Amino acid sequence: MELLRFTTAGSVDDGKSTLIGRLLHDTHGVYEDQLASVRKASSNGLDLAFITDGLRAEREQGITIDVAYRYFSTPRRRFIIADTPGHEQYTRNMVTGASTAELAVILLDVRKGVLPQTRRHAYLAWLLGIRCIVFAVNKMDSVNYAESMFDKVCRQISEFTTRLPGCQLHSIPVSALLGDNVVSRSECMPWFSGASLLEYLETVPLDGLAPAKELRFPVQYVIRADSGLRIYAGQIAAGSVGVGDRVTVLPSGNVATVRAIGTCNGNPARAHAPASVTLCLEDHFDVGRGDMLASTAFPPTAVRQIQATLVWMSDTPMAFQQPYLVKHTTQRVCAEVSRLISKLDIRTLEHKEGAEELCLNEIGTVELDTHRPLFCDTYEENRTTGSFILIDPISNQTLAAGMITGWAEAQRRQPMNRGEVHRGLTVWFTGLSSAGKTTLSHAVYERLWAAGKKVELLDGDAVRQHLCKDLGFSKQDRDENIRRIGFVADLLTKNGLIVLVSAISPYRKVREEQRARIGDFVEVYVNAPLEVCEQRDVKGLYRKARGGELKGFTGIDDPYEPPLNPEVECLTDRESLAESVDKVLRLLEQRIETVE
Amino acid sequence: MASGMSYLRMLEAESIHIIREVAAEFARPVMLYSIGKDSSVMLRLAQKAFRPGKLPFPLLHIDTTYKFREMTEFRDRYCAEQGVKLIVHRSREASEDNVNPFRMGTQKCCAILKTKALLDALAAGPFEAAMGGARREEEKSRAKERVFSFRGAYGQWDPRNQRPELWNLFNGRIDHGESIRVFPLSNWTELDVWEYIEAENIPVVPLYFAKEREMVVRGEALIPVEHDLPLLPGERPEMVMCRMRSLGCTYCTGAIRSRATTVPEIIGELRNLRRSERENRAIDHDQEGSMELKKREGYF
């Protein structure tokens, strides 16, 4: 039998509890003794809302406080309802209910029409990956079952649902109180020829988001058999795995062969999502909780800088550069929010840039830096590997729900390192603002990464957002900024990494200081004439400096001291990016020594 | 379903995921074992979750001393057979004369012999996470439980301030002294439990099967004649063909009239039954919202 998980939402007094009570009651999902207890608590007759409003506080206030799960079945389908509250302060519960649902039933009062809450609920359902929404236009009995009233609400609905692409939408006029069009079709609305709500729920095709095909197996637990064998336990998040399959082990990037599969009911040759299984590998790799076994042809992206939509669920607003914990599949990693890109305006359903904070029940798109790579897909591609929660390491509270929308471009759809051991080296890109340091260093990074080198980027802008955010732009602070970068570069170089530093670093003396400190050091002069840089003005800083908004800007009212003997000089106004990259790589070939 | 998995196998996969998550995230977890059908299913799921390894946590039974003899016998035999580590916790108060359901009433008795004993046993462990076989379908306040349910330092449940729980990402972080109650069977119904027992051939206490038993008929309730049950004037025990639908202490359990003597017969009976599983549990009905109040105090 098929299972349909759906969620219900609606504003206060739209009659949601009554509707669910009606569904359960009319499908015989409520036992007689439970009904008797509801009758006892009802003030007159049988108040269907009391079937679901379970907590004492809810009865006292006449509202639903928390998400509740209900179970019923018909001969056609099994149903799990996540019944979620409608008031604004409990939006986090609505998101909770929607996260596991395939369909949403959203209630409206025909007399009130579409309210801000209605739009919010529909958008949240869509945001959480629900691609089938039913609008139950309730209290039709109170408007004498007038078709014109239903049509009016339908028009309001179609006005805002254009913002929910790919979503299957359906509206049904109902009276939860009297049962019209809930379980059986109503005789009071002959003008409506569609199915009743229950008929619709029983027959709607369950397409939803297309199920992901490529294997994703987050290792949840390692079982050690008496024989000493390591057995990897977990739930398949996507795709399937078969005996003899070659799978990529993340983060090591090793490729292993599946030796055996164990399920609850034997040892099949192949197992599919969402089975909980155990896997044995032919090869002896060190694999632990938080690692992932994945399709070799299409592994997930290993990223440390992700873009995600957050639904903020805590009274404490989001903070920048503060350590949070990300729980993603079976991984738990430390992370910081580096940027709030945009915030959703719930009235217009538009994402607006320039927001400064994210508070309770607000939805925003952020950039998140994680301390270890996440092995992820976008939420659109995969609901399991594309979702995470943010936890406050101090209060232990769940702060936000996150859905991954993308990642920084420099990060590759490739495993992290493939194990080549070489000596470390710092490559220092210096030059004016807009000379092309970031573009060049990122391109070099890509090439080195693709060649299997261990490589890291220290970008001046990123460093100033984190390590050096306390520093300004006086000569003293600029020198301190460079010394800190040099310190980190030195550490990484000693550990065998190729460190690409990209920073204006205008003063010769402090650059020479870093060369002396690090030793394995290459200077790349990214050289473009000031006029060219000013014309490019990638970040609009020259304009501000000329206008007097920025003081002490390099090249305008602060000096740039070019290197006297750089190992490489790239003339970015005359040569192509590829030529510049080749120049740098040719030199690096001579300087990077592979250690046997 | 797109996956082609049966509904029972979906539930099984979900529960095993939850149980493994507990073992992975907590240093000292424990699994509550009440000897009933839900515990039997939960134990089987746990064994499957760690096969071919052993269970990485012990079982804990809170023995109020008012259980059926058949239950304790079954417990000792089955746990020994299965080779699982079982801790039996009996509260100190149980031996005191005045603590019994007949004299002090079911509410106080349950508070001392079950809720307090449970909190004592968890503190004695000390156990950070306790898995229980409760299901959301059972009772209306349980319908609002999280799978990972946070409890304060005194085991209380604060239903107004629960952690949001999304997807299958559970937040099990706690400070010293706090704990998490985990409900791996959250999404199972009573019928699912019996269908799984049938599919997996899981042994259960014989009390679930109908036979002639000595009962006191009190109003609609059938109360087993055990533990010196005091009779009301005019009451006489009689033999009734009946079975237990859910198991607790003898006085509070109650039986239903039934002729179902096998698992398939029980499943057939449940498909047509119009009355809830905990109807006969006296403690659920001592006041409206009774289960919620007990849960806030630390009951499972």
Write out pLDDT tens, residues A135-161: 999 999 999 999 999 999 999 999 888
Instruction: Measure the CA angle with vertex B168, ends B164 and B171; round to 5°.
Output: 50
CA separation for the pair A344, A186 (Å, rounded)? 39
Q: Based on the fold, state whether residues A64 and A171 are members of the same structural domain.
A: yes
Pick the closest to residue A446 from A520, A371, A500, A525 (CA basis): A500
Q: Record the tokens describing residue A255, joined without a space.
A: 């490729």
Residue B155 has pLDDT above 80, yes or no: no
Q: Assign A500 a pLDDT band (cuts: 50, 70, 90).
A: very high
Q: What is the pLDDT of residues A195-215, one digit of tens each?
A: 999 999 999 987 554 566 789
Domain boundaries, chain B: 7-192+289-297, 205-285
CA separation for the pair A138, A154 (Å, rounded)? 12
Q: Based on the fold, state whether residues A509 and A551 are members of the same structural domain.
A: yes
Q: Assign B2 a pLDDT band (cuts: 50, 70, 90).
A: very low
Residue A52 has pLDDT above 90, yes or no: no
Q: Based on the fold, state whether residues A220 and A355 are members of the same structural domain.
A: no
CB pairs under 8 A between A and B: 171
CA separation for the pair B236, B254 (Å, rounded)? 16
Evaluate whether residue A495 is within a structural domain: yes
Q: What share of chain A has pLDDT > 90, as a percent?
A: 47
Residue of B nearest to A226 (CA): B53
Domain that holds residue A182: 2-203
Give the residue from A295, A312, A338 where a domain finishes: A295
Give me the interface pTM, i.e. the ipTM. 0.85
- Annotated catalytic residue A158: no
Question: According to the model, what pLDDT value does residue A250 have?
Answer: 87
Q: Based on the fold, state whether residues A453 and A389 are members of the same structural domain.
A: no
Contact: A70, B143; criterion CB under 8 Å = yes
Residue B278 has pLDDT above 80, yes or no: no
Q: What is the pLDDT of residues B172-193, one digit of tens each?
A: 999 888 899 999 999 999 989 9
Question: According to the model, what pLDDT value does residue A417 have?
Answer: 46
Q: What is the pLDDT of residues A355-394, one digit of tens each?
A: 889 998 899 999 999 988 899 999 988 899 999 999 999 9
Residue A517 has pLDDT above 60, yes or no: yes
Evaluate whether residue A209 is within a structural domain: no
CATH number at residue A325: 2.40.30.10
Whether A79 has its CB under 8 Å from any CB of chain B: the answer is no
**Residue B17 C-alpha, separation from nearest chain A C-alpha, in angstroms:** 6
Q: Based on the fold, state whether residues A114 and A147 are members of the same structural domain.
A: yes
CA separation for the pair A222, B53 (Å, rounded)? 10
Neighbouring residues of B207: CB distance < 8 A, sequence distance ≥ 6? B68, B70, B71, B243, B244, B247
- Which phi and psi (to 5°) does residue A328 adopt? -135, 125
Burial class (CB in 10 A: 0-12, 13-18, 19+), B89: middle
Mean pLDDT of A505-517: 91
Q: Based on the fold, state whether residues A100 and A176 are members of the same structural domain.
A: yes
Question: According to the model, what pLDDT value does residue A412 have?
Answer: 46
User: Is it true that domain B7-192+289-297 has CATH number 3.90.1200.10?
Assistant: no
Whether A28 has its CB under 8 Å from any CB of chain B: the answer is yes
Residue A596 has pLDDT above 50, yes or no: no
CA separation for the pair B226, A414 (Å, rounded)? 68
Q: What is the pLDDT of residues B91-115, one digit of tens each?
A: 776 666 566 666 666 666 666 667 7
What does DSSP assign to residue B111?
I
Evaluate whether residue A520 is within a structural domain: yes
Mean pLDDT of A161-184: 91
Question: According to the model, what pLDDT value does residue A59 have?
Answer: 54
List chain B residues with CB under 8 Å of A393: 173
Q: What share of chain A has pLDDT > 70, as a percent?
A: 89
- Which phi and psi (to 5°) does residue A154 adopt? -60, -40
Burial class (CB in 10 A: 0-12, 13-18, 19+), A479: middle
CATH number at residue A183: 3.40.50.300
Q: Based on the fold, state whether residues A187 and A222 are members of the same structural domain.
A: no
Residue B1 has pLDDT above 70, yes or no: no
Question: According to the model, what pLDDT value does residue A53 have?
Answer: 61
Interface test with B, best of A40, A396, A403, A404 (most B CBs within 10 A): A396
Contact: A401, B50; criterion CB under 8 Å = no
Look at the alpha carbons of B263, B267, B273, B275 in this order and tell me if their dihedral is positive or negative.
Answer: positive
Evaluate whether residue A366 is within a structural domain: yes
Q: Record the tokens describing residue B112, joined without a space.
A: 């001392």
Burial class (CB in 10 A: 0-12, 13-18, 19+), A548: exposed
For the beta sheet containing A425-430, the strands, ordered from the edge strand earlier in sequence to the opposite edge, are A455-459, A498-502, A425-430, A521-527, A568-571
CA separation for the pair B134, B300 (Å, rounded)? 7
Give the residue from A203, A229, A257 where a domain finishes: A203
Start-end of H helices in A309-459: 437-450
Q: What is the pLDDT of residues A90-108, one digit of tens each?
A: 677 788 889 999 999 999 9
Neighbouring residues of A547: CB distance < 8 A, sequence distance ≥ 6? none
Structurally, chain A folds into a number of domains equal to: 4
Among A276, A505, A576, A580, the active-site one is A505
**Residue A107 C-alpha, separation from nearest chain B C-alpha, in angstroms:** 21
Instruction: Count other Cβ atoms within 10 Å, centred on residue B262.
Output: 11
Inter-residue contact B144 to A67 (CB < 8 Å): yes
Q: Based on the fold, state whether residues A274 and A342 are members of the same structural domain.
A: no
Q: Nearest Cβ partner of B3 from A231, A274, A330? A: A274
Contact: B160, A57; criterion CB under 8 Å = yes
Q: Based on the fold, state whether residues A436 and A384 are members of the same structural domain.
A: no
Q: Based on the fold, state whether residues A105 and A130 are members of the same structural domain.
A: yes
Question: According to the model, what pLDDT value does residue A43 have?
Answer: 65
Question: According to the model, what pLDDT value does residue A409 have?
Answer: 56
Average pLDDT over chain A reads 86
Q: Assign B43 a pLDDT band (cuts: 50, 70, 90).
A: very high
Q: What is the pLDDT of residues B258-268, one digit of tens each?
A: 999 999 999 99
Residue A454 has pLDDT above 50, yes or no: yes
Say which residue the tokens 């049966």 belong to.
B6
Inter-residue contact B274 to B245 (CB < 8 Å): no
Q: What share of chain B has pLDDT > 70, as a percent?
A: 78
Q: Based on the fold, state whether residues A112 and A49 are members of the same structural domain.
A: yes
- Which phi and psi (to 5°) does residue B102 adopt? -75, -45
CA separation for the pair B3, A272 (Å, rounded)? 7
